[in-house]
Amino acid sequence: MPKRLYLVGVVVIFVGVYVQYFVELGQIVGYLLVYGVPVFVVTLLFGKELLGRALKNNRVAFQLGLGLFGAFTALSVFLSVVALAVLMRLNPQALDLLSKPNPVLDVPSEVAWVMIVVSLVVVGPVEEYLFRGFMYGGLLSVTRGRHWFVLAVVSSFLFAAVHGYYAVTYEVASVVPFITIVTFSVAMSVAYYWSGGNLLVPALIHGVYDATGFLGVATSSEVGLYARGVLIFVGVVFAGVFLVRRVVVRSQKLPVGSFG
Per-residue pLDDT, 2: 81
pTM (2 decimals)? 0.92
* Cα 58 to Cα 141: distance, rounded to the nearest angstrom: 21
Residue 18 lies in a domain: no
Residue 13 lies in a domain: no
Per-residue pLDDT, 260: 43
Residue 101 lies in a domain: yes
Residue 60 lies in a domain: yes
Please check the confidence at residue 72 and state whether its pLDDT lies above 70.
yes
Residue 228 lies in a domain: yes
Per-residue pLDDT, 145: 79
Q: What mean pLDDT is predicted for residues 92-108?
A: 89
Overall number of domains in the chain = 1
Residue 118 lies in a domain: yes
Residue 23 lies in a domain: no
Quick one: what percent of the chain has pLDDT higher than 70? 93
Residue 216 lies in a domain: yes
**With the CA atoms of 11, 211, 239 and 193 taken in that order, what torsion angle do they form, in degrees rounded to the nearest 10?**
-20
Summarised one tens digit per residue, pLDDT across range 169-212 is: 999 999 999 999 999 999 999 999 999 999 999 999 999 999 99
Summarised one tens digit per residue, pLDDT across range 16-32 is: 888 877 777 666 677 77
E-state strands within 134-252? none
Burial class of 25 by CB neighbour count within 10 A (0 to 12, 13 to 18, 19+): middle
Per-residue pLDDT, 108: 93
Please check the confidence at residue 258 and state whether its pLDDT lies above 70.
no
More confident residue, 85 or 252: 85
Using an 8 Å Cβ cutoff, are 61 and 204 in contact? no
Per-residue pLDDT, 26: 66
More confident residue, 252 or 89: 89
Residue-range definition of the domain harbouring residue 72: 56-253
**Band of pLDDT at residue 249, cut at 50, 70 and 90:** low
Q: What mean pLDDT is predicted for residues 153-164?
A: 95
**Band of pLDDT at residue 73, cut at 50, 70 and 90:** very high
pLDDT, mean over the chain? 90
Which residue, 169, 191, 212, is CA-closest to 54?
A: 191
